[in-house]
A and B are shown apart, each in its own frame.
Chain A
Amino acid sequence: KNEVEQSPQNLTAQEGEFITINCSYSVGISALHWLQQHPGGGIVSLFMLSSGKKKHGRLIATINIQEKHSSLHITASHPRDSAVYICAVNAYNTDKLIFGTGTRLQVFP
């Protein structure tokens, strides 16, 4: 079993839909990251969370430390949101990231 699990693996949506991607982890962490990888391969860091909730534009990320679970929400989805979304965590006392397998999102007009 992977230390970081994401669901769903693939997700398709119509433009305007509300999207949720889930991440569960089994190790103790100091931080959780949500990353976006575009078709060209470049990776952008969206959020770093250690507790609570963060919002940036149409993106919202939440984390529940007790339940070891995080969600990434996209409101009013748009075709340009199509990408792979990756959850990654810092385990305690390490700078290394442990990655989930990613969620491939396609938003159709």
Chain B
Amino acid sequence: GAVVSQHPSWVICKSGTSVKIECRSLDFQATTMFWYRQFPKQSLMLMATSNEGSKATYEQGVEKDKFLINHASLTLSTLTVTSAHPEDSSFYICSAHNTGTVRTPNYGYTFGSGTRLTVV
């Protein structure tokens, strides 16, 4: 089945540093990747949608200069949290959207395993 590899699974960093999170689709091409943030015991909050070869679309309230998204190839999307602060500590998870439509057999969403970021 479709697999999305997300790294790192956890990271601790100092305030002011930047952290890069990678999501890679291993056996399919993902033209669209979604990046989510999740606070404890809450649902997923969409941060941005990235499309291969174009600029990401950010949701309202998400700072695009702070959360840099790059989707340079059909199998790799990255999220960089720049100048991290303790309030950025959260669980970040990506989801790759298989190309096609609802009627395409492989259509669907595959999630990465998530990255737990702690900023100290």
User: A residues engaging B (CB < 8 A)?
Assistant: 30-31, 33, 35, 40-45, 48, 50, 86, 90, 95-97, 99-102
Contact = CB atoms under 8 A, between A and B. Distances in A.
B22 to A, nearest CB: 16
Contacts of A45: 108-111
Contacts of A43: 93, 95, 111, 114
B43 A97 contact: no
Closest 4 CB pairs of A and B: A43-B111, A41-B114, A42-B113, A99-B43
B93 A41 contact: yes
Interface in B72-112: 91, 93, 95, 97, 102, 107-112
B67 interface: no
Contact of A95 (B32, B112, B113, B114): B32
B74 to A, nearest CB: 15
Query: Is chain B's interface secondary structure helix, strand, loop, or mixed overall?
Result: strand
Nearest to A43: B111
A97 B114 contact: no
Nearest to A4: B43
B102 A41 contact: no
Contacts, number: 49
B46 A96 contact: yes
Nearest to A35: B111
Contact of B49 (A35, A41, A90, A96): A96
B49 A95 contact: yes
B116 interface: yes
A42 B108 contact: no
Contact of B109 (A33, A50, A101): A33
Contacts of A33: 108-109
Q: Pick the most buried of A41, A50, A86: most chain B CB atoms within 10 A of its CB.
A: A41
A30 B111 contact: no
Contacts of B95: 43, 97
B39 to A, nearest CB: 12
